[in-house]
Amino acid sequence: MKFWKNNRLDQEFEMHPEKVLDKFLKSKEYRDWLEGHNFDRSLRIFLTSKEGLFATFEKGDYDKLADYIFKNHESRKRTLAIFNFV
């Protein structure tokens, strides 16, 4: 997925959805979501905050990423826990 660091056109970078998911699983925003906060809001805060990716994104890409994270977070969390990464 394509992102722009600090909303700058000259700071474009790409990150695979699995890598974004791994980072999200370690974030405060993920814990907030598990405690009942809105998923979309938690993910958007993670992606745009300095504590997260501090980046902007295209809406169509975001929709695909959000779907991927929502569908895969539990299985990925179990995998990372086995190897003590979470």
What pLDDT is stored for residue 83 in this prediction?
55
Q: How far is CA 42 from CA 8, 11, 82, in A?
A: 22, 23, 25
Q: Are 24 and 38 within 8 A, CB to CB?
A: no
Provide the edge-to-edge strand list for the sheet that holds 55-57: 12-14, 2-5, 55-57
What pLDDT is stored for residue 47 in this prediction?
97
What pLDDT is stored for residue 12 in this prediction?
94
Per this entry, what is the length of the chain? 86
Per run of 10 residues, the mean pLDDT along the chain (length 86 residues) is 91 95 95 95 97 94 95 78 55
What pLDDT is stored for residue 76 in this prediction?
77
CB under 8 A, 24+ apart: contacts of 78-82: 80/22, 80/25
